[in-house]
Amino acid sequence: MKSTTLIESGDSKLVVRGYDLGQKISSNLVRVFTLEELEYWEKHLAEIPAGLARFANRLPENIREQKAVEAITGFKIGETDLFIQLAEAEAFAKKYFGLNVMLAGIFELPETVPWESVLPVFVPVGTDNRNVCELLKKLGLNPLEEVDVMKCANSEASDKHQLFLINNSERPDKDTMGLSPNRLRKTKKPFLNLRGYGLAMAFYHKTTEWYLDPKTITWFPKDRLPDGRVACGDWYLGYCRARFSWSDPGYERGSRGARLAIQVPLKAKV
């Protein structure tokens, strides 16, 4: 049976109690909201009910029904930090690419994602591997290229904006650890590429002041040199710099894995 909201109950006393609690909640927003979060919610009023449902420690619909959905598809995006992260990504794009974008307005966001914390990777139109390395230099992450990153497959820019969603994690996905690039490709899953990883490293560092892969390495299974070697990336902790290196496609090691990347489609033009 679906839970009844205060307004649906028809009980005026309960509604008054709800408004009273709402005033107490609103008076505390200034204690917890950042400027970015304030600006995000001002622009996304329609998402407030889902946010309040999360605050209430329940889901928009019956808890039992939602848990069954999560067991199959993951988390509804209103129950994750995706919208807050998108606001951060928009601020990042404005500062470093000079773009004023509302990502939820131009991309068709999925209803569910596999993770409770999501890292959005926005790839502006015209951004290639070289542009990403230049950005990393600008941020002081001083990328080391064992081979010119423009020599591998998938190095060229797209003619459209792209948005990928990955797990907001320092390490690659747990179920990929120890698998070679060849075995990862056989799974047919979409994994983050070098360009996306470089942007993820930059964004992750700006929002956390830390780094992706200080103790692990992320494979880019489809980003390969003409000789067959496969690209990978990490934070070269001993030298304090991002690193893009290359290894044999059959190489397996427990500290190496990949990152599932959900590509979000652009909205159709009306």
Q: What confidence tens digit (pLDDT) does each residue in 187-199 have?
A: 999 999 999 999 9
Query: Which tokens hold the place of 154?
Result: 């998938």
DSSP state of 188: T
Where is pLDDT greater, at 111 or 10?
A: 111
Q: 35: pLDDT confidence band, cut at 50, 70 and 90?
A: confident
| C-beta of residue 190 within 8 angstroms of C-beta of residue 262 | yes
CA-wise closest residue to 121 among 74, 30, 190: 190
Q: 65: pLDDT confidence band, cut at 50, 70 and 90?
A: very low
According to DSSP, the β-strands at 230-236 and 241-247 are antiparallel
To which residue do tokens 């008054």 refer?
16
The model carries a pTM of 0.74
According to DSSP, the β-strands at 118-123 and 256-257 are unpaired
The answer, yes or no, to whether residue 182 has pLDDT greater than 70, is yes
Specify the pLDDT at position 17: 85
| C-beta of residue 181 within 8 angstroms of C-beta of residue 189 | no
Strand order of the sheet with strand 162-167?
118-123, 162-167, 262-264
Q: Specify the range with the lowest mean pLDDT, choosing from 24-38, 131-145, 234-248.
A: 24-38
Q: 36: pLDDT confidence band, cut at 50, 70 and 90?
A: low
Q: 157: pLDDT confidence band, cut at 50, 70 and 90?
A: very high
| C-beta of residue 133 within 8 angstroms of C-beta of residue 202 | no
| C-alpha span between 268 and 107 (Å, rounded) | 9
Q: What average pLDDT is seen over the chain? A: 87
CA-wise closest residue to 211 among 120, 109, 140, 127: 140
| C-alpha span between 246 and 258 (Å, rounded) | 14
Q: 11: pLDDT confidence band, cut at 50, 70 and 90?
A: confident
Share of the chain above pLDDT 90, in %: 71
DSSP-derived 3-state class of residue 167: strand
Q: Which residue type does 223 have?
A: D
| C-alpha span between 257 and 218 (Å, rounded) | 5
